[in-house]
């Protein structure tokens, strides 16, 4: 099973991706994880990445594409993969098509986790973390016990200002992938509102589970 997971920041892709990779026994291929691992191991690609990140620059598509192609060629991806964080643009999607064609492989599904922006704002801005235990609460959906409420903190990237910026980038750069994969008859829409179990059941239904 070769999958791509799309969706706006805060939609819950991480939670559902974990369920999918456990069910289908396929690796989650995250560009962020690969870049960090390459920098940590000081591989040739890692040194190139570091030259950009140290300078505060975006890693160019050509370098990201090479990284993804190398990762998809590893043994654990031979039975399938879940791509998370790639492609982010139509240009990257076209590059991925070329990679898979060269490998004699194809995508099975592109899952789009759909959640309205106003719901995402409520979800994200209401999150609070317990610095002592790491437990995450929500002021509306999962309120903390009264005796620990005072020590909870809001992450710096859980503000409406930061989320609005991330959503603008998503709608400008990543959302054009939706018609791209619709045209290829690969897009599968998943309603991302509801309990984790309800959302997982919708995704699994699409994937034949």
Exactly one of 50, 105, 166, 189 is catalytic; name it: 166
Exactly one of 78, 106, 155, 209 is catalytic; name it: 155
* DSSP labels, 32-46: HHHHHHHHHHT-HHH
Active site residue 127: yes
Exactly one of 71, 127, 128, 202 is catalytic; name it: 127
Q: What is the DSSP letter of 156?
A: T
Decide if 6 contacts 192 (C-beta within 8 A): no
Active site residue 128: no
Active site residue 88: yes
Q: At CA 105, angle to CA 100 and CA 106, rounded to 5?
A: 85
Rounded Cα distance between 1 and 126, Å, is 35
Exactly one of 13, 71, 128, 202 is catalytic; name it: 13
Exactly one of 88, 105, 173, 189 is catalytic; name it: 88
Decide if 181 contacts 138 (C-beta within 8 A): no
Beta-carbon contacts of 186 under 8 Å, excluding residues fewer than 6 positions away, are: 107, 108, 109, 110
Beta-carbon contacts of 17 under 8 Å, excluding residues fewer than 6 positions away, are: 5, 28, 82, 84
Active site residue 166: yes
Decide if 174 contacts 113 (C-beta within 8 A): no
Q: Which token pair is 75?
A: 């043994």
- By annotation, the residues acting in catalysis are 13, 88, 127, 155, 166
């Amino acid at each position: 099973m070769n999958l791509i997971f799309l969706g706006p920041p805060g939609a819950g892709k991480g939670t559902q991706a974990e369920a999918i990779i456990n069910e289908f026994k396929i690796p989650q291929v995250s560009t962020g994880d690969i870049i960090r691992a390459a920098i940590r191991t000081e591989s040739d690609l890692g040194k190139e990445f570091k030259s950009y990140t140290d300078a505060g620059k975006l890693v160019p598509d050509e370098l990201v594409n090479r990284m993804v192609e190398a990762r998809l060629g590893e043994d654990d991806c031979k039975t399938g993969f879940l791509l998370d964080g790639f492609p982010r643009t139509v240009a990257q999607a076209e590059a991925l098509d070329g990679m898979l064609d060269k490998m004699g492989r194809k995508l099975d599904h592109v899952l789009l986790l759909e959640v309205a922006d106003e719901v995402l704002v409520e979800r994200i801005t209401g999150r609070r973390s317990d610095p002592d235990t790491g437990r995450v609460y929500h002021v509306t959906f999962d309120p903390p016990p009264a005796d620990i409420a005072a020590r909870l903190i809001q992450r710096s990237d859980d503000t409406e200002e930061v989320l609005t910026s991330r959503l603008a980038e998503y709608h400008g750069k990543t959302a054009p992938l939706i018609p791209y994969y619709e045209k290829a008859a690969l897009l599968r829409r998943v309603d991302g509102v509801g309990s984790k179990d309800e959302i997982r059941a919708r995704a699994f239904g699409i994937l034949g589970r």
